[in-house]
Structure 1
């Protein structure tokens, strides 16, 4: 569909399968675009190319993954674009998954700018709004995760941390692709574009997005390190506890092994008070080992209960 803007530049919203002939016609003045036009509908990855037309104008064309399901990264959408100073074409652009943007809203914003590159950056700005909405949802999940680490600290937290990390990587990859597109557009159109409000506003939005991604990456790495420290500490405490209990009950096991033998010549079997002496010896030696460990400071807080509000006791 063709949209002629008030400032005499044109936006084309095309369907790759249905409007292929129209796409070839619109890009016929650029020889390098003929192959791209044929394959645009089937391109499934990010792609960028800068060409120069015979009249000296530059063309920016490519493909951009503009939405992706963080839970299933095979579920994504790719828009293909062709941009000159007076022409902006999108192929297979669907905004139904965006919460704050529709094609009608996008067109209303494009009508306010003077050139096609500005209109392109209006589009990128709305894509970034979608990213920021997704990152806001991630922030809510991170806050809940931090609360779980502080209060519950259950064994499933490590899986949850890695889920959040994969989700953040998803948004990071999408934002970096937009930043790459911004730099390519800057290379193609130079000051004619970089001095416009649409470019500056979108650049700021990119900076916001990448700043949030960096900060949340640090948060997730901190949570991951904390969980690893807690797990390591718990493992050490368990081994120390088992070692202490083994040492404490070693006398009992040793004497039990001796008096559990079946030799005929065992004088203790004929002692009238042998059972009492054995109990006293076993109990005394066990208590003695425990006192010795306490004096050495090797039991620490192992035999105390851990308060729910503390992670290292």
Structure 2
């Protein structure tokens, strides 16, 4: 068991405990901190968030438990932060000391020195832990923007899997945010006015509000992407069904005629006539043509046949607009060249420059 005690100018203490699972000197640690004995036993194997508000003998409030904090912007890099907190004492127990070492660097070391009590110093530590939230959410925002750009340019079949992957990432950060938010409420419940007026607590509240705004905004963006993906697939399904209905309806007369002619009749009408195939075939084509006109009037053929035509019209319109812009720029350049060739005369008028070649003096 490694034990380091830091005493700060305002009189509060920070006890840093670091022990391995194989350490056998836990009873000595309990004797050193008798009020924390139950917390030490409970925190040995705990790897989940747990927050508890208790009252010490004499009515003094205390908060203890475990907070799973991100140690970097990697969502898999998470470690337990075991803490026991009273008005003048903070005891922490960690196996990974990266977070404790970060607190001893600028500017967090100076903020801890200026803290007036252990609860205020603990809010400073939570603000330090939330820095990893911002780094992780910044990396998440880049991946979300890449997903939005890919959906805007080219909608692939696996887009929904990517959207769900971003949703799970956001749920990961939201889960850790809720734990810190619960701990902030527990600190407010335990220490009330003596803490809520401190600078460290107010900064922690503002930081939590910033993170909450980001999480809500990203959640709304992902919901929008899911709705857009559903709408795209619904439109594609409707277009496919409309196209199938259109073509099935068109080939129905020919299918009926082929079925009738393929039946084993003893005598097929007009089979011996020279026009016995041309006339029924013409009747089938005429019926098919009238069905096509009826479907076109009803607007069924619009999405099935005219999409490419609309795309061609749009490309033609863009090409014509580019030609007009090019022509306008050339006209502007020629106008500026003509104006530059004018020479001001003595009377203040602009006269065209004349070449001396081939002129006759008078």
Question: What TM-score comes out, normalization by structure 1 length?
Answer: 0.87
Q: Distance in 2 between matches of 1:144 and 1:288?
A: 50
Please state if 1:6 is matched with 2:9: yes
Contact 1:241 1:302 in 2 (8 A): yes
Unaligned segments of structure 2, at least 5 residues: 315-362
Please state how far the C-alpha of 1:36 moved relative to its aligned partner.
2.1
- How far the C-alpha of 1:41 sits from its partner, in A, is 2.2
Indicate the structure (1 or 2) with the bigger Cα radius of gyration.
2
Q: Name the structure 2 match of 1:189.
A: 191
Could you tell me which residue of structure 2 aligns to residue 50 of structure 1? 53
Structure 1: segments with no counterpart, 5+ residues: none
Alignment deviations for residues 217-251 of structure 1 (CA, whole Å, 9 cap, x no partner): 11111111121122122112211211111111101
Give distance in 2, aligned partners of 1:66 and 1:60.
17
CA RMSD of aligned residues (A): 2.6
Deviation at residue 148 of structure 1 after TM alignment: 2.1
Q: Is the 8 A contact 2:17 2:94 kept in 1?
A: yes
Aligned counterpart in structure 2 of residue 118 of structure 1, from 115, 120, 127? 120
For 2:74 and 2:7, the matched residues in 1 are separated by 39
1:76 and 1:182 map into 2 onto residues whose CA distance is: 20
Query: Take 2:191 and 2:75, find their aligned partners in 1: how far apart are those partners?
Result: 36
Q: Give the CA deviation at 1:90.
A: 1.4
Q: Check 1:187–1:81 CA distance in 2 against 1; reply closer, same or farther (3 A cut).
A: same
CA contact (8 A) 2:39 2:84 kept: no
Q: Deviations over 1:120-144 (max 9, x none)?
A: 1111001111111111111112212
1:63 is aligned to 2:77: no
- What is residue 27 of structure 1 aligned with on the other side? 33
Question: 2: CA distance between counterparts of 1:85 and 1:112?
Answer: 15
Structure 1 segments of 4 or more deviating over 6 A?
68-73
Q: Secondary structure at the match of 1:41?
A: coil
The residue aligned with 2:224 is 222
| C-alpha spacing 1:132/1:188, structure 2 compared with 1 (3 Å) | same
1:132 equivalent in structure 2 = 134
Q: For the residues of structure 1 that align with 2:47 and 2:16, how far apart are their CA atoms?
A: 18
Distance in 1 (alpha carbons) for counterparts of 2:287 and 2:97: 78
Query: Please, what TM-score do these two structures have when normalized by structure 2?
Result: 0.76
**What SS class does the counterpart of residue 273 from structure 1 fall into?**
coil
Q: What CA deviation, in whole Å up to 9, does each residue of 1:9-48 have, x standing for no partner?
A: 22122224347345423430x2xx4222112121121111
Q: Is the 8 A contact 2:103 2:128 kept in 1?
A: no
Counterpart of 2:178 (choices 168, 176, 179) is: 176
